[in-house]
Amino acid sequence: MKTEFFIARRHITRSGGAFRKMVSVISIGGVALGVGAMLIVMAVENGFHKSLKDRILTSTPHVVVMRFHHELIPGYKAIISKIKRMEGIKTVEPFISEKGILKNADEQEGAMIRGIDKTEKIPGLTGGRDGLILGSILAASLSVTVGDSVTLFSIAANSSRIKTKRYVVSGIFEGGLYEYNSALAYMPLEETQKFFEIGDQITGLEIEINNIYKAPEIAKRINTGIGFPYYATHWIEMNTNLFAALKLEKTAMFILLLLITIVACFGICVTLIMLIIQKTREIGVLRAMGASAGMIKRTFMLEGVLIGTTGTIIGVIIGFVVSYLLSKYKFIDLPPGVYGVDTLPVYMRFMDFIIVSFGAIFISFITSLYPATRAAKLLPAEAIRYE
């Protein structure tokens, strides 16, 4: 292969006029841009997925146990004890989820009131933990901050009367997800039970587990262990549609960029065809001197692979540098109300670089097969006769 490699490298670096060299540069540049664009987009897609997953896990329990038809759960302490004895369970905490309206002066907003036992687990909390704790966007909508008061309106569970009570805003939290920050308020569990007049009952149980990816298995085990009328669901199931949409979007974007890379690799085919036309006499001389058809084929295939590899290496460098700069300096701002994050998230995975690199080189190899095969079929006498 040394001879084939020597000829292939010489053809790429030294042969032909300015026009053919420009075509080679364009071919390399096309592959580089295709590979670079694919890596950058994949890093951004991975960043969105990772950011979304982290924010979901920050605000959403790993596993939730509730009663069918969202009925209140009495005697929940016995269920907690039973679940805690199961393998893989880290913590089990009761919670209450009720709807209410919060009002301050002329501002009012609907909110989901969530009563929990351990308010120290609230993500991104600033301020105290004993009063009403509002999401950052909800607090801004009501024009309140820590120390201000708001009125909570709700229909009591056991009557049709509207109940109201004034609460001090003791804290403001940043839950990561826009939906939580704009519509969620926390209260201590006992105060929530008292306000909504539900006695010693709860809406459900929040379960934290040791391995988040075993959530489906643990939820199934809980369903078997506690049985009807209770059911367990997990964070993956609660966000199935969202993750499915993100996966579809990532797949579609990958296919689109792959097609762009394939089109760029066809430039290699054009370059090789032009080179073969230019080197027809040289091919004839090599064949007359004893070079086999296989050697000629391997030479031009190596040329295609060398062009593709050069473009791939440049593309990997472009993809890495741009992705690194985006992740470090975060100079692209996003509207958090639309995307849930305020800057473009970027997360590079080593395996993506490996797959894209080998894929681009493989495509370069495939696109070089046809011109290399045509070059190998040239007969020595025919190749020399017309030169």
**What does each of the 387 residues of the chain score in pLDDT, given as a tens digit?**
577 777 777 766 665 566 667 777 888 888 898 899 889 989 988 988 888 888 788 778 899 999 988 889 998 999 999 999 899 999 999 999 999 999 988 888 999 999 998 776 777 777 666 789 998 899 999 999 988 999 999 865 555 678 889 999 988 988 767 778 888 999 999 999 999 888 899 999 999 999 988 999 999 999 988 888 899 999 888 888 877 877 888 788 888 878 877 887 787 887 787 777 777 777 777 777 777 777 878 888 888 888 889 999 999 999 999 999 998 887 777 776 666 677 888 999 999 999 999 988 998 888 888 888 887 777 666 656 655
Q: How far apart are CA 287 and CA 189, in angstroms?
A: 88
Q: How far apart are CA 350 and CA 293, in angstroms?
A: 39
Query: Across the chain, how many H-helices and E-strands are there?
Result: 14, 10
Q: What residues contact 138, with CB distance under 8 A and at least 6 apart?
A: 102, 109, 111, 181, 182, 183, 184, 185
Calculate the CA dihedral of residues 177, 178, 183, 184 and round it to 10 degrees.
20
Q: Are 34 and 360 in contact (CB under 8 A)?
A: yes
pLDDT value for 185? 92
Helix, strand, or coil (residue 85)? coil
pLDDT value for 338? 64
Of the candidates 59, 55, 51, 126, the residue with the CA atom closest to the CA atom of residue 343: 51
Q: How far apart are CA 269 and CA 192, in angstroms?
A: 71
Angstrom distances, CA of residue 113 to CA of 143, 169, 350 = 18, 13, 43
Q: What residues contact 275, with CB distance under 8 A and at least 6 apart?
A: 11, 15, 16, 20, 300, 303, 371
What are the beta bridge partners of residue 162?
155
Q: HSE (CB half, 13 Å, CA atoms) of 276?
A: 24
Of the candidates 286, 288, 293, 272, the residue with the CA atom closest to the CA atom of residue 12: 272
User: What is the pTM for the complete model shown?
Assistant: 0.75
